Amino acid sequence: MLGVFLDRASLDLNDLNLTTLDNCLPTMRYYPMTSSAQVMERIAGATVVISNKVVLDSTALESVPELRLICVAATGTNNIDLQAATRLGITVCNCRGYGTPSVVQHVFSLILALMTHLPDYHRAVAEQRWQGAEQFCLLDFPIRELADKTLGIIGYGELGKSVARIAEAFGMKVLIAQRPGTLEPESGRIPLPVLLPQVDVLSLHCPLTPETRGLIGAWELALMRRDAILINAARGGIVDEAALARALREGALGGAGVDVLTEEPPAHGNPLLEKEIPNLIVTPHCAWGSREARQRLTGQLVENIAGFLKGGGGKSGGLKVIQNTAESYRLSGKSQAKSHPASNGLRL
């Protein structure tokens, strides 16, 4: 039974223990990266394929009659043709919850850096401004405490709840936004137009869906306080990036921390990557990537493969079938991982 990992370098920086994965499927072949032109050649004859971001379309899936299990080394399954997989009897499993501590930590790294102007103070020291100061400290940039500030959260799933807990530990008040597209009032949730003017920090943790695409645009940004901070560690398309860049340049927003962009990698440029945008921190979709998180992800891959093998490795793999409103997906009996093209493991 052949296994293939198409893009190991997207997960393992030679700092992970992959012994359990090797033991689970000793025939595993590892490739650092795989281009679209190499996919069919590399998955030929494979029963199990692991992919993080390599696209597996219907043509690729139909070319491998032996293929029975696709393990997505991520939460989002948008790179897999799920309709074709269902039609061909191929089980698709994803991974969930592995990156929560890492993402939450990154979110507060961005919040704290922006609230304290940490990059500006670091730059001031590098430019010798402290060394030539007339007093013992520099206070050139405003420093704000999180205590008694208000945090607004859009997306109150596992990540949103974890961010809320840490915010409360800092003494922040937490407001939860009503689900986008929801017309009826929801207990404990506030409509977005009512929430936005109240928050000092807005943190996004919702999936990218038709309802959330472009959710934060020029109109929404104009509702926020001029000193408010926007954090996006969810999906790039949720924010109108040109509108955000404009708001920051015009001083209409206090700052922004962004770990995701509409196109990744941003090979064709991005409004947020142009020079001279004040109070903006952009990180390269690395919030999830602590070593501990990547090791947990590896453990979930092993659970999914082991569950499949325990079922005999047949067409259904012994995995529980999950009925979705649109299609059927399968779930390992042990792992929390399940395939869902819209949710990406994030809940509103």
pLDDT tens digit sequence for 229-275 = 999 999 999 999 999 999 999 999 999 999 999 999 999 999 999 98
- Within-domain flag for 46: yes
Confidence of residue 312 (pLDDT cuts 50, 70, 90): low
Between residues 207 and 248, the one the model is more confident about: 248
Phi-psi region of 37 (alpha: psi -120 to 50; beta: other; left: phi over 0): alpha
Query: 225 catalytic, yes or no?
Result: no
Q: Is the pLDDT of residue 341 over 90?
A: no
Confidence of residue 347 (pLDDT cuts 50, 70, 90): very low
Q: Which of 198, 210, 141 is nearest to 173 (CA)?
A: 198
- Within-domain flag for 343: no
Together in a domain, 127 and 19 = no
328-331 and 320-323 strand pairing: antiparallel
Together in a domain, 69 and 108 = no
Phi and psi at 86, nearest 5°, equal -65, -45
Q: State the catalytic residue, choosing from 127, 264, 274, 292.
A: 264
Q: Which of 346, 267, 348 is nearest to 74 (CA)?
A: 346
- Within-domain flag for 129: yes
- Chain-wide mean pLDDT for the chain? 90
Together in a domain, 9 and 59 = yes
Together in a domain, 250 and 158 = yes
Among 265, 282, 299, where does a domain finish? 282
Q: Which residue carries 């704290």 as its tokens? A: 112
Together in a domain, 206 and 71 = no
Residues 6+ apart with CB under 8 A from 208: 234, 235, 236, 237, 238, 344
- Within-domain flag for 336: no
- Within-domain flag for 76: yes
Query: 264 catalytic, yes or no?
Result: yes
Counting the structural domains of the chain, the total is 2
Q: Is the pLDDT of residue 205 over 80?
A: yes
pLDDT above 90 covers what percent of the chain?
Answer: 83
- Within-domain flag for 155: yes
Together in a domain, 20 and 167 = no
Q: Which of 308, 264, 332 is nearest to 52 (CA)?
A: 264
Confidence of residue 346 (pLDDT cuts 50, 70, 90): very low
Please give the residue range of the domain that contains residue 327: 3-98+290-331
Confidence of residue 322 (pLDDT cuts 50, 70, 90): very low
Task: Give the three-class secondary structure for 193.
Answer: helix
pLDDT in tens, 29-62: 999 999 999 999 999 999 999 999 999 999 999 9
Query: 127 catalytic, yes or no?
Result: no
Q: Is 143 in contact with 116 (CB distance < 8 Å)?
A: yes
Among 250, 265, 282, where does a domain finish? 282
Together in a domain, 188 and 324 = no
CATH classification at residue 91: 3.40.50.720
Q: Is 27 in contact with 1 (CB distance < 8 Å)?
A: yes
SS3 content of the chain, % helix, strand, coil (to 5): 35, 15, 50
Q: State the catalytic residue, choosing from 144, 213, 249, 285.
A: 285
- Within-domain flag for 296: yes
Q: State the catalytic residue, choosing from 96, 205, 235, 330.
A: 235
